[in-house]
Amino acid sequence: MRLLSADPSSAPGGGAAAPSPLLTTLLGMPTAWGALLFFSLVINLLMLTPSIFMMQIYDRILTSRNLTTLVMMSLVVILAYLAMGALEWARTRIAVPVSVAFDHALGKRLLDASHRLSLEQNGGSNKQLMVDLTNVRQFITGQAVYALADVPWVPIYFIVIMMLHPVLGMVGLVAGCLLLFLTWLTESMTREPLKRANERANEATRFATLNLRNSEVIEAMGMLDSMTRRWQDRQDEHLTEQARASERAGAIGALTRFLRAAQQSIILGVGAYLYLQGELSPGAMIAASILSGRMLAPIEQLIQTWKQWGGAQDAWQRIDKVLRMPPRHYSSVALPPPKGEISLEGLVGGAPGVDPPLIRGINLKVPAGLSVAIIGASASGKSTLMRLMAGVWLPRGGVVRIDGADMQQWRRQAIGPYIGYLPQDVELLEGSVAENIARHGDIDNTKVIEAAQAAGVHEMVLQLPKGYDTQVGVGGAYLSGGQRQRIALARALYGNPPLLFLDEPNANLDEAGELALDKALASARQKKQTVVVVSHRPAAIRHCDAIAVMQAGQVVIFGPRDQVLAKVFSGASPTTQAAPPAPQPVPSAAAVASPGAAPPTAVADAAHAG
pLDDT at 287: 85
CA distance 603 to 39: 76
pLDDT at residue 589 in the model: 34
pLDDT mean over 578-588: 38
pLDDT of res. 18: 62
Handedness of CA 289, 290, 295, 297 (dihedral sign): positive
| Residue count (the chain) | 610
Asked whether the predicted pLDDT for residue 500 surpasses 90, the reply is yes
Q: pLDDT averaged over the chain? A: 79
- Cα 72 from Cα 78, distance rounded (Å): 10
pLDDT category of residue 402 using cuts at 50, 70 and 90: very high
* 344/610: higher pLDDT: 344
Q: What is the mean pLDDT of residues 576-604?
A: 36
Reduce the secondary structure of 298-349 to three states and give it as a string: HHHHHHHCHHHHHHHHHHHHHHHHHHCCCCCCCCCCCCCCCCCCEEEEEEEE
Please give the Cα distance from 376 to 551 (Å, whole number): 6
- Given a cut of 60, whether residue 13 has pLDDT beyond it is no
- In the chain, the domains with their CATH numbers are 162-325 (1.20.1560.10), 342-609 (3.40.50.300)
Span 134-166, pLDDT tens digits: 888 878 777 777 778 888 888 888 888 888 888
Tens-place pLDDT, residues 195-237: 777 777 777 777 777 676 667 677 777 777 877 888 888 788 8
Least confident span in 233-237, 337-341, 360-364: 233-237
Q: Which of 32-46, 73-87, 594-608 has the lowest mean pLDDT?
A: 594-608
Q: What is the pLDDT of residues 508-532, one digit of tens each?
A: 777 888 888 888 888 888 889 999 9
Mean pLDDT, residues 486-496: 91
Residues 94-134 pLDDT 10s: 877 887 888 778 877 887 777 777 766 654 445 677 778 88
Which pLDDT band, with edges at 50, 70 and 90, does 307 fall under? low
> The sheet that has 359-366: what strands, in order across it?
359-366, 342-349, 397-402, 405-406
pLDDT exceeds 80 at position 375: yes
Query: What gap in Å lies between CA 17 and CA 197, rounded to an integer?
Result: 28
SS3 content of the chain, % helix, strand, coil (to 5): 60, 10, 30
Q: What's the pLDDT band for 283 if we cut at 50, 70, 90?
A: confident
Q: What is residue 537's predicted lDDT score, i.e. its pLDDT?
A: 73
Backbone angles phi, psi at 471, to 5 degrees: -75, 140
CA dist., res. 173 & res. 69, Å (int): 34
Per-residue model confidence (pLDDT) at position 126: 58
pLDDT at 598 over 80: no
Rounded to an integer, what distance in angstroms lies between the CA atom of residue 268 and that of residue 260?
A: 13
Percent of the chain beyond pLDDT 90? 13
Residues 382/386/388/391 CA torsion (nearest 10 deg): -170
What's residue 78's pLDDT? 92
Q: Pick the more confident residue, 364 or 123.
A: 364
Phi, psi at 225, each rounded to 5°: -60, -45
Q: Give the helix/strand (H/E) hosting 591.
A: strand 590-591
* Torsion angle of C-alpha atoms 135, 140, 146, 150, degrees rounded to 10: 120
Q: Which of 389, 365, 348 shows the shortest CA–CA distance to 533?
A: 389
- Going by pLDDT thresholds of 50, 70 and 90, the confidence category of residue 604 is very low
**Predicted pLDDT of residue 121:** 65
Q: What is the pLDDT of residue 448?
A: 92
Q: How confident is the model at residue 4 (pLDDT cuts 50, 70, 90)?
A: very low
What is the amino acid identity at position 56? Q
pLDDT one-digit tens code per residue, 42-88: 888 888 888 888 888 887 888 788 888 888 888 998 998 899 888 88
Q: How far is CA 425 from the centre of its chain?
A: 22
The stretch 589-609 carries a mean pLDDT of: 35
Mean pLDDT over residues 369-379, rounded? 89
Q: What is the pLDDT of residue 583?
A: 34
Q: Tell me the C-alpha distance between 487 and 532, whole Å.
A: 19
Question: pLDDT class for 607, splitting at 50, 70, 90?
Answer: very low
In angstroms, rounded to a whole number, what is the distance separating the alpha carbons of residues 189 and 181? Answer: 12
Predicted local confidence at residue 278, as pLDDT = 84
Contact residues for 240 (Cβ-Cβ < 8 A; gap 6+): none
- The pLDDT of residue 502 is 92
* Span 417-454, pLDDT tens digits: 899 999 888 888 888 999 999 998 888 899 999 999 98
Do 521 and 327 contact (CB within 8 A), yes or no? Answer: no
